[in-house]
Structure 1
Amino acid sequence: MAADVLPRARWLYCGERDESRRAVLVQFTNGKLQSPGNMRFTLYKSKDSTNPRKSHQRILAAETDRLSYVGNNFGTGALKCNTLCRHFVGILNKTSGQMEVYDAELFNMQPLFTDESVESELSELALGNQIRTYREKMDSCIEAFGTTKQKRALNSRRMNKVGSESLNLAVAKAAENIIDSKGVTALIGDAIHDDLQDDSLYLPPCYADAARPEDVYKFEDLLSPAEYEALQSPSEAFRNVKSEEILKMIEENSHCSFVIEALKSLPSNEESRDHQARCIWFLDALIKFRAQKVVKRKSALGPGVPHIINTKLLKHFTCLTFNNGSLRNLISDSMKAKITAYVIILALHINAFQIDLTVLQRDLKLSERRIIEIAKALRLKISKRRVALAPDREEDHKLGTLSIPLPPAQNADRQSKRRRIT
């Protein structure tokens, strides 16, 4: 008798890492199977393994001699119990007494009708020989046998569909009227103009009717009072910089040319010197930040940068993108143009509203055409000046001046380019 007694069962959890060993549980909406051995099941899984929302999506198909069934674990037809509960299936080996436990997923199998199998149903429902989708067939069943709540939801969905179709027809009709009245050529011209207007989206607010140059682009739009206050500590090294330290910066090439020249001409007045040092430090931070393409860490420029400044750089000068299942901060071309515009305006406030655009162009690693294009969009007056590099060597530099009254906004280079394209 003792030999016939089963050994004590031992549990062995096989884990959920290997999804190929996950069990599948099914239930059928239209009753119970009389011959489950005659079912043929096929499991399909999403090919998008990089997207965390789609990598676990599954579709289960089943076939019998009479009907086909389909179920999925996503969308409106999925069972909520899969997200609220965990299901397990255990397989007992009577010889060893070991119970292997696997994770399981429950699928709700719904019948999938073919057009041939419902011809009699279509005639009974007085819908003629029209071919209908599964949704339409279910709606017909709800109309005939559904509860009050189901019928109310059906009517609401149909009303929304009618409203959407009416809106689409109205929009299409309005578009046809506009095309007929204005013509295709005029519409293309308007689109080009709107596109050019979009180029100014990265520019700070401009007060064209200002009485003074310093009020055209207000300093408060570049740095808020709280951000300006936070720059006191990091700008201390610039505020107390010595001549030998500037020479070391030049030797090590640790700062750009505009910053070096601005540090050489810091005012002696303590209050003005402190203001200039903060502005130069932030301009230097913008240029270094612009040189990146993707910000891979939360601290955009490393340790020592105030949190409020780091937040400003990430929030105002990067685009949040999704890549390989993770979010990252990208400095796109439009964001680089925005940083360039802020650097030019900040340089104007530092340098009495006249700057050497050629020096900034080299610091920002831009083409001359591009920086002139942005300067004209900022409504600067462009001029030339001969600059002595050595006793026997000179070169032409482009100057940008912010003066009242402002010249009209220009974007001639890009406009002529787009005209050639069109």
Structure 2
Amino acid sequence: QAFSVSLIHPRPPSFPPVTAPPQGSPLHHHLFIPSSQWARDLLHPPLSQELSFLDTCIPTVTPFSNGKLQNPGNMRFTLYKSNDSTNPRKRNQRILAAETDRLSYVGNNFGTGALKCNTLCRHFVGILNKTSGQMEVYDAELFNMQPLFSDESIESELTLESQTRTYREKMDSCIEAFGTTKQKRALNSRRMNRVGNESLNRAVAKAAENIIDTKGVTALVSDAIHNDLQDDSLCLPHCYADAAKPEDVYKFQDLLSPVEYEALQSPSEAFRNITSEEILKMIEENSHCSFVIEALKSLPSNEESRDRQARCIWFLDTLIKFRAQRVIKRKSALGPGVPHIINTKLLKHFTCLTYNNGSLRNLISDSMKAKITAYVIILALHINNFQIDLTVLQRDLKLSERRMMEIAKAMRLKISKKRVSLAAAGEEDHKLGTLSIPLPPAQTLDRLSKRRRIT
């Protein structure tokens, strides 16, 4: 916006001295600037020419916001008048500047810094003529003079920067300036962790670029496809394809070491000594899965075989319960009844260690669920003389039939059908899985159907 500039002399030597008003008067700490009406009568001719631009102005009263004016004689005033005389809102806009040797002041009659009293009421200034004894009263306007600092533009930039900062950044600034020792220590730790994460991300990105440059995109895509196809196969226990007997295809020692097998003696005692009444109670309470209940019904009478079967059934039941979980939030996966060595085996071999919300936790991923399913199938084969009802296990594990068949075929089981009678006087087809020699050809898992099922 354009303003014209004119100079106002503070007070010439011939100007009648204006006595300071008493303490508490409305004009206390104010400086009065005369208009050209008084200048023509009271000022020297050269000075009246200098103030001729004020013919259309009114007297101004200027309060200073930061203190009392000690010496008004060293003040230099400049009045800026709007050049837009056609706009009724802008033609009366004025900016008054006051300069001293130490500080500058600025006031205006428009905008946020203008005094509200100029629009709500009228102000007057009276001039007493000592010769005639008459006083003339004139309209006046108030300008609130604010100090102007040279670094005000820097402060405005800082204000803009503070507006763009997030709430977390503002809180960090407050903690850095006024926080306790504990808060400052936590702030420094968080900043160091953030810098560490950024450095790690840069290092990973650089390593990825180096690998891409070395192997090429085509080779990397081929490796990714190959790894994707072999993902579920890695979850399966080791298969001895050249074994002469079914029990040697998936060795029992690969499932449970001798130490782990001995640890199952105490928790499996309830299964070893179970009675028919207790089995009926299990069925009523639905506390165990169907495969476990059917296996308990057919426990052998031989003490050694019964003990082995009870241990295998207990471990299979534990695996099924463990698989039903998603996140293990405590060190004891299934409660205090599980031996420590078995609990460690479950967490080590069937979970993935992840980092979430500042803490480590054990997650049972989809690939780990497939691995648990494979171990359950092998245990069931050893319990049932290497032929199992896959449909019963599938329902106990809450799997789809297609997924169960994929895992069974990948484990090189022979699949057959069997008509099974139901308790409700009906029949249904069940899928049986048999581990026999020679083994059928190995089949890879149907990854495409898995992706379609997930999506």
More displaced, 199-208 or 255-264? 199-208
Once residues 307 and 388 of structure 1 are traced to their aligned partners in structure 2, the CA distance between those partners, rounded to angstroms, is 41
* CA-CA distance at 1:393 after TM superposition: 1.4
The Cα shift of 1:216 comes to 1.0
Instruction: Work out the CA distance in 2 between the residues paired with 1:231 and 1:358.
Output: 27
Establish whether residue 242 from structure 1 lines up as the match of residue 283 from structure 2.
Answer: no
Q: Unaligned regions of 5+ residues in structure 1, if any?
A: 1-37, 50-54, 61-72, 74-86, 90-100, 108-160, 180-186
Query: What whole-Å deviation, never above 9, does each CA across 1:323-366 have from its counterpart, x for those lacking one?
Result: 22222222121111111111011101111011000000111111
Aligned to 1:383: 416
Kept after mapping to 1: 8 A contact 2:394/2:404: yes
Aligned pairs, number: 285
Shift of 1:103: 7.2
Structure 2 residue 248 is the aligned partner of structure 1 residue 207:
no
Instruction: Give 1:264 shift.
Output: 0.6
Give TM-score scaled by structure 2 length.
0.54
Distance 1:197 1:47 in 2: 46
User: Counterparts of 2:414 and 2:366 in 1: how far apart (Å)?
Assistant: 25
The equivalent of 1:255 in structure 2 is 288
Per the alignment, do residues 56 and 306 of structure 1 end up closer, same or farther by CA in structure 2, a change over 3 Å counting?
Answer: farther
Which residue in 2 is equivalent to 1:175? 216
**Matching of residues 343-354 of structure 1 within 5 Å:** 343-354=376-387
Tell me the percent identity. 75
Query: More relative contact order in 1 or in 2 (CA 8 Å, sep 6+)?
Result: 1
1:191 Cα deviation from its structure 2 partner: 4.4
Equivalent residue, structure 2, for 1:15: none
1:59 CA displacement: 8.3
Residue in structure 2 matched with residue 372 of structure 1 by the alignment: 405
Task: Kindly report which structure 2 residues correspond to 1:113-124, keeping only aligned pairs within 5 A, or say none.
Answer: none
**Amino acid in structure 2 at the alignment position of 1:380:** L
Tell me the residue number matched to 1:337.
370
2:444 corresponds to which residue? 411
Asked if structure 2 preserves the Cα contact closer than 8 Å seen for 1:88 and 1:102, the reply is no
**1:110-149 → structure 2 map (5 Å cutoff):** none
Aligned to 2:427: 394
Bigger radius of gyration among the two:
2
Deviates more, 1:299-308 or 1:253-262: 299-308
Q: How well do the aligned residues superpose, as a CA RMSD in angstroms?
A: 4.2
> Match of 2:256?
223
Structure 2 residue 395 is matched with structure 1 residue 362? yes
Q: 2:323 maps to which residue? A: 290
Shift in CA distance, 173/401, structure 1 to aligned 2, threshold 3 Å = same
1:64-213 equivalence runs, <5 A: 172=213, 174-175=215-216, 191-213=224-246
Residue 316 of structure 1, aligned match among 349, 355, 358: 349
Distance 1:364 1:210 in 2: 29
Shift of 1:48: 11
Residues 290, 396 of structure 2: 8 Å contact kept: yes
Aligned equivalents of 2:243 and 2:349: distance in 1? 25
Which letter does structure 1 place at the counterpart of 2:371?
K
1:413 Cα offset (Å): 3.4
Contact 2:388-2:433 within 8 A present in 1 as well: yes
TM-score (normalised: structure 1): 0.58
Distance (Å, rounded) in 1 between the aligned partners of 2:363 and 2:252: 26
Deviations 1:146-168 (A, max 9, x none): xxxxxxxxxxxxxxx9xx99996
Q: 2:266 — aligned with what? A: 233
User: Counterpart of 1:270?
Assistant: 303
Distance change in 2, residues 1:103/1:238 (3 Å): closer
**Would the alpha carbon gap of residues 317 and 168 (structure 1) be closer, same or farther in structure 2, given more than 3 Å must change?**
closer
